Structure 1
C-alpha cells in the first residue's frame, strides 16, 4: 500500500524502496506481483524478470507466478514461450478465464487462428460465455470472416453494445460484409463520434458511405485517413474509389500509391516503425518517422515522434511534435493525451499538462493510461 501510494504521488524512488522493503521482510506473492508489474509497465523487463525469479523461489506454483511468466514472455515478443507459459497456467488453474484468453491471444499473435479458436471454444465450453471469452471469440470470428455467425451472435444484443466497443465494431463490419450497409453506417457513425481518433471506425464508416451511395461523405471521411503516410491499402483503395466518384484530383495520386512495388515498400516502412516503437528502439523510430513528415505533418506520425523524443529525454522536441499533432487532430484523445504526457514526464508546464490530461480523460473516460497519468499529474508539485 505504501508503494502504491508513493507511485500515485509520483515518488518513484520511494515506491521502489517500499517494494524492496516489503520483499526483504518476506512480503507475499501479491506484493511481488505488484512490484513486477510496476517494472513491466516501465518497460524494465530485466528488473521484472529478477522479481519473477524471486517469486519462483517463494512459490513457483502460485497463480500470480505462473501468469507473470506468460506476461513477461509476451512483453518481450517471445510468443512460443508465452504460449507454453499460459498453457501451464490453464492446466494448473482451469477455472480462470483470463489465462485461457491470454493463451488464445498468443496463438492469434503467432498467426495460428485455428489453434486460437480451439483454445477459446474450449474455454467457452468449460467456463461459459464470460465477457472476456466472448470478446476474444468474436475477434477470432472476425479474422476468419465468419460474418453471419457474428451477426447472429450479436443481433439480439445490438441495443446494449456500447458505441465504439470492440463488439460493436465487429458487429458493424459483419453487417457491412453481409450487405446491410445502412445499418453498418449508423453503427460506425456512432463509433466515430465516440472514438474520433480511431482509424478503423473511420475506415469502416467511409466504406459504408460508399456502399450507401454517399461518395461525397465518404471522401470527406476517408481523405484524412488515406492521405496519411501510415495508411494501409484498404484505406487508400476505398479513398481512391470515393475520389474517383466525386472527381477529386487526389484520385491519381492514390492510385499510384497502390502500385505493387510502391505499396510493398511503404507497408514495410510502416511495419518497421511500429516494430521499433514496440521494442522501445526510440532512435530507430525517429529515423523511420522523421522522413514521413511533409507540410504540416500527419497527426499520428507527429504523435509517435513526440513519444520517441520523450523517451530519449528530448523534452522540448517532444512537446513541439505533440503540439503539432494536436493542432492537426484537436479532437483526437490520443493526441491530447500525449501533449499532456510529454509535459508531465518532462517536468515542465505542469498546469498545462493537467489541463490537457483532463481534456483527454473527458474525451476518453475509459482509458486507463490517461487516468493514471492524470492522477500522477494531480499529485505532482508545481
Structure 2
C-alpha cells in the first residue's frame, strides 16, 4: 500500500527538479545581478547534472574569482584546459586565480606571451605581490598604452595612491569610472581616492553604490563602514559592522573598524576585548594598536599601553597622537623625564596646539623642568602661527575639495578663537554640507547668520542647509529668497532657490 501512495509523489518530485540548462540560466541571472553566492549554488547543482558542460565550468571559474576563491577557480579552469596549458581568456583567468592563491610567478607564467591590456595588468599585480614596484609600474604603464580597461585603470590608481601621487590616482580613477561606471573596481577605487582627497560625501556615494550593486562585496561594505565612521555616524557604522560579523567576515580592516567604533564611544573595555582576540594576527605597527594602547592607558594598564604605543611612536615621529599617548603613558608610569623627552619636539613646534602645550606644562612640572611656566603662558595665548597655518590649511582644503581636512582645520580655528568669525562659520557649514553632515552644517550656518543676517552667501548656506537637513522647506525658501534679492546675479543662490521651490511645489 505504501508503494502505491509514494510512487506518484516521487515521480512528481523528479519531474519538478530543474534541468542543468534551467539551473545555468538561473546562475547567469544571479551572476549578472552580481549575486555570486547564489550563482555558485546554481552552478554546483547544474554541474552535477552536466559534469562536462564547458559553459557551466567557465561560469563556475568566473564566479569563484568574483568570490575571491582562487582554489575553486583553478579547479574549474583545470577541467576546461583538459591537461593543456590554458590559452587566451582561460590563461588570464588562470593568472587571476594564481594571484588569489598568492603564487605570482605562476600568474606571470600563464600570461607571459600575451600583450593584451589585461595581461599587463595581471603581470603588474604579480610584481606587486613580489614587492617589485619598478616592474609593477612598468607593466601598468604598458597596460594603459595597450588601451587599458576599467580594472587596469583602477589597479593603476591604487598603485599611484601607494606611491603618494594623488593627482595621477584621481586621473586613473576617473578613467576607470568612465570605462565602467557600474564596475566594482571602478566604484571601489573611486571611493578610495575620494576618501584620500577628503571628499567623504563622494566616497560614501561610491561605496554605497558598490555595496548595493555587488551584495557579496566585503570590500564595498567595509569601505562604506569606514567612511560612516569618518563622518561621525558611529551608529550606522556599527550596524554595518554587525552585519559583516554576522556573515562571518574576518580580516584586519574589519577588526580596526570595530576597535575604532568602540573607541569612538569610549568603550575601552570593548577595545581591549577586541584587540586581545586579534592581536596575534596584527602587524607590530598596525593602526589598531594605537587605539589599543589608548584603551589600556584609560584602563590603568600603563606598562602594557607603553608596549603597544612605543614602537609606533618611535617609527612615526611625526604622528602627534602617538607621541601624545606615549608621553601620557610615561607620565602615568612615573617616568616624567621620559615623557618630557618624548613630547618636547611636539610642544616646541610653532604649530603646537593649546591642549598640547597644557600637557607639556604638566609634564615639565612633574619633571621639575623650569620650562613649565613658559609652556603655560604659550597655552594661554592664541598661537598666531598655528592659527595662520590652520587658516591656510582650511583655505587650501576648500579649494581642493578636501572637505574632511577643511572641517578639521575649521574646528581647530573655532576652538582656539571666540568662535564668531562669519567666514569660518560659513565655510565650516559648507564643508559639512559637502560631506553630507547636514545637521552639523545647519548648526554652523545658524551661528553664521546670527553674526551676518544680511550676507547673501551666509543666507544661501543657511537656506540650503535647512533644506538638506530635511527641516522646514518654507523657512529654507525664505532665507534663499532674501539671499536672491540681495545678490540677484548669483547663479548658485538662484539654483538652490529653484530646487527648494520645485520641492515645495511637488509637495502640493
Task: State TM-score, norm by structure 2.
Answer: 0.46
Partner of 1:47: 171
- Mapping 1:4-83, distance limit 5 Å: 4=124, 8=134, 16=141, 18-23=142-147, 27-37=148-158, 41-44=165-168, 47-48=171-172, 50-56=174-180, 60-83=181-204
Matched, 1:102 2:223: yes
Deviation at residue 171 of structure 1 after TM alignment = 1.6
User: Counterparts of 2:199 and 2:279 in 1: how far apart (Å)?
Assistant: 37
Deviation at residue 133 of structure 1 after TM alignment = 0.8
User: Residue 345 of structure 2: which of 201, 206, 224 is its match?
Assistant: 224
Deviation at residue 175 of structure 1 after TM alignment = 1.0
Matched, 1:189 2:313: no
Change (3 A) 1:131 1:94: farther
Q: State the Cα deviation string for residues 312-351 of structure 1 (Å, max 9, x = none).
A: xxxxxxxxxxxxxxxxxxxxxxxxxxxxxxxxxxxxxxxx
Q: State the Cα deviation string for residues 93-143 of structure 1 (Å, max 9, x = none).
A: 232222222112222222323322322232222343322111111122222
Greater Cα offset, 263-272 or 183-192: 263-272
Partner of 2:333: 212
Q: State the Cα deviation string for residues 43-66 of structure 1 (Å, max 9, x = none).
A: 13663365134312xxx4321122
User: Counterparts of 2:160 and 2:326 in 1: how far apart (Å)?
Assistant: 39
Between the two proteins, the alignment pairs up a number of residues equal to: 272
User: Counterparts of 1:198 and 1:173 in 2: how far apart (Å)?
Assistant: 14
Matched, 1:266 2:386: yes
Change (3 A) 1:30 1:145: same
Change (3 A) 1:68 1:199: closer
Partner of 2:300: 179
Q: Extract unaligned runs of 5+ from structure 2.
A: 1-118, 402-508
Matched, 1:126 2:126: no
CA RMSD of aligned residues (A): 3.6
Q: Please give the secondary structure, in 2, of the residue aligned with 1:258.
A: helix
Kept after mapping to 2: 8 A contact 1:70/1:86 = yes
Kept after mapping to 1: 8 A contact 2:320/2:346 = yes
Change (3 A) 1:209 1:102: same
Q: State the Cα deviation string for residues 263-283 of structure 1 (Å, max 9, x = none).
A: 5973562474387489779xx
User: Counterparts of 1:38 and 1:192 in 2: how far apart (Å)?
Assistant: 27
User: Counterparts of 1:271 and 1:102 in 2: how far apart (Å)?
Assistant: 30
Kept after mapping to 2: 8 A contact 1:244/1:251 = yes
Deviation at residue 157 of structure 1 after TM alignment = 5.0
User: Counterparts of 1:103 and 1:244 in 2: how far apart (Å)?
Assistant: 45
User: Counterparts of 1:110 and 1:118 in 2: how far apart (Å)?
Assistant: 15
Change (3 A) 1:122 1:37: same
Q: Please give the secondary structure, in 1, of the residue aligned with 2:300.
A: coil
Q: State the Cα deviation string for residues 224-265 of structure 1 (Å, max 9, x = none).
A: 222123434443222211111233222122112322x61597
Q: Please give the secondary structure, in 2, of the residue aligned with 1:111.
A: coil
Change (3 A) 1:62 1:159: closer
Partner of 2:262: 141
Change (3 A) 1:113 1:279: farther
Partner of 2:38: none
Kept after mapping to 1: 8 A contact 2:260/2:291 = yes
Change (3 A) 1:30 1:181: same
Deviation at residue 197 of structure 1 after TM alignment = 4.8
Higher relative contact order (CA 8 A, sep 6+): 1
Partner of 1:113: 234
Moved segments of 4+, more than 6 Å: 9-12, 277-281
Greater Cα offset, 27-36 or 116-125: 27-36
Task: State TM-score, norm by structure 1.
Answer: 0.60
Q: Please give the secondary structure, in 1, of the residue aligned with 2:153.
A: helix
Kept after mapping to 2: 8 A contact 1:219/1:242 = yes
User: Counterparts of 2:308 and 2:136 in 1: how far apart (Å)?
Assistant: 40
Deviation at residue 205 of structure 1 after TM alignment = 1.7
Q: State the Cα deviation string for residues 328-379 of structure 1 (Å, max 9, x = none).
A: xxxxxxxxxxxxxxxxxxxxxxxxxxxxxxxxxxxxxxxxxxxxxxxxxxxx
Change (3 A) 1:150 1:98: same
Q: Please give the secondary structure, in 1, of the residue aligned with 2:225.
A: helix
Kept after mapping to 1: 8 A contact 2:150/2:176 = no
Change (3 A) 1:151 1:267: farther
